[in-house]
Structure 1
């Protein structure tokens, strides 16, 4: 199924209470929010979902709650871990709960193609025939995968059904991947959706991104596949200042969670420690950008 994925697979946040406890009630409201704004599926426990701050049991609880609430939409669970035993155990637990598949990025420290191939061979020997998203995000993982290496992994491991492409420049890499592919898999794009209209033109199947306004990501996708390329770009441009502001690593996640709180999707904007805290100046800038966005959108009516 994942090889046929299309549309917005939104990168979901992990809601926390002010004391750092997981807020499962806000998982419910946030999941509903994503689905109401055009998500075709969910990707949970990614980098933006603060997965590295959760215990194994907490990861299972969050993933399970999203799966339960997703109204049958596919939920992909990030399980990346340099320890293959931990990756295997989390994979087994979330697949038992009904996950559509898992997302894996290679660990930091792989320096050669031989090491890369050896790592994934060991992973798939352990997890078996689990539908897998291969995440190409070297600026987070520290491991760069060439186009030829990615294509070789796809051919060697039929478990790989989808590629999340967020190397830079993404557009040229997407073109080379599509030109060189044998077995076709889906390609979704990350990087906060910063280059989405251009990436759609290069052959991606949709965004796998987080944004405080997911209706923009789903809206751009829908317009583009309908052939309304100019309208898709016009919609994207209206959100671009806010999108760029959110595209600032973990600090941008703090911004996103605050906007989601203001929109009623979550109860608290807290990030689990260690994490940034927004200042009064940050809040003023957020309000400035939101006001500009509201005025811009009102011109469409």
Structure 2
């Protein structure tokens, strides 16, 4: 089941579950995967930016990816393979593709500055992993400090047929989506899937601009699935009403440096993860932050009963 340019819906970015001692919690991996399957996800992404991939040994990365691929057998699974060098990227890519991954996601190193450098990097990445491996182009300038203009994305898409999806995480980025879809309409760029990140913070209008869905890790991915579904059904106001109810928690969870702790905490509160632990180095939540998240959940529960959780 290889990833194609027609991918739509929601591909949640899965966190890596750990016990408090830093060991991988394999039971939570299965429970988390089952939850994603049950809530309407159309695919999954593991070892992404907030999957703590740099904290895993190579064998652990292969094992986690393989476990999710086997558990989510009916959905395409994309694996993040970004690495400082192409040797490590190639090794991980070949192992996860052999296990049945649908494709890989590649983020740019923060040393790239010019359009030519960006295009050349992805050209070399494809040479390293193989032109037969579908890949997701991750555009996240707020984290990677690499500015990809619509023109450079078009160059990558046109020169590298194995680029089938853009993970759009520019901010602001609505005009970029419109420009890319405009390239498709005028025939200067072939069609690719566009799934959006940034915790879904702008998903309500991103799908209206032409994005195909979300590729992010919000602790209520079932809400993201509902928003994409409602939008596709033409029920615009219901989609916005649901999204607006979640916006305060979305915003809180999007805080740089703190977001993963919040996400894992809420997923633990929802019974998806056994522990909210991150592998060290980690940034645990303070008691005050936990109280704020509980307050946000209480307020959200007035509009979405999925947030009505048992007392902590």
**Normalised-by-shorter TM-score class:** over 0.9
1:119 to 118, 121, 135: 121
Once the two structures are superposed, residues 7-66 of structure 1 have per-residue CA deviations (whole angstroms, 9 ceiling, x without a partner) of 010111100010011111110001111111121110110111111111111111111111
User: Secondary structure in 1 aligned to 2:226?
Assistant: helix
**What is the aligned partner in structure 2 of residue 155 from structure 1?**
158
Deviation, 1:270, is: 0.2
Structure 1, 51-60 or 231-240: larger mean CA deviation:
51-60
**What is the aligned partner in structure 2 of residue 169 from structure 1?**
172
Structure 1 residues without counterparts, runs of 5 or longer: none
Alpha-carbon contact 1:250-1:275 (below 8 Å) kept: no
1:75 aligns with 2:82: no
1:26 to 25, 28, 31: 28
1:273 aligns with 2:299: no
1:1-301 mapped onto 2 (5 Å cutoff):
1-128=3-130, 129-181=132-184, 182-297=189-304
Distance 2:120 2:42 in 1: 33
Distance 1:61 1:28 in 2: 12
TM-score, structure 1 as length reference: 0.97
TM-score, structure 2 as length reference: 0.93
Distance 1:198 1:2 in 2: 24
Distance 2:257 2:14 in 1: 14
Distance 2:113 2:249 in 1: 36
Structure 2 residues without counterparts, runs of 5 or longer: 306-312
Once the two structures are superposed, residues 161-212 of structure 1 have per-residue CA deviations (whole angstroms, 9 ceiling, x without a partner) of 0000111111011111111132101000000000111001100000111111
Alpha-carbon contact 1:192-1:247 (below 8 Å) kept: yes
Deviation, 1:132, is: 0.5
Distance 2:60 2:256 in 1: 23
Distance 1:31 1:249 in 2: 25
Once the two structures are superposed, residues 222-272 of structure 1 have per-residue CA deviations (whole angstroms, 9 ceiling, x without a partner) of 000000001100010111111111111331110110111111101110011
Deviation, 1:274, is: 1.0
Alpha-carbon contact 1:48-1:250 (below 8 Å) kept: no
Alpha-carbon contact 1:254-1:276 (below 8 Å) kept: yes
User: Secondary structure in 2 aligned to 1:118?
Assistant: helix
Measured on the aligned residues, the alpha-carbon RMSD in Å equals 1.0
User: Secondary structure in 1 aligned to 2:241?
Assistant: helix
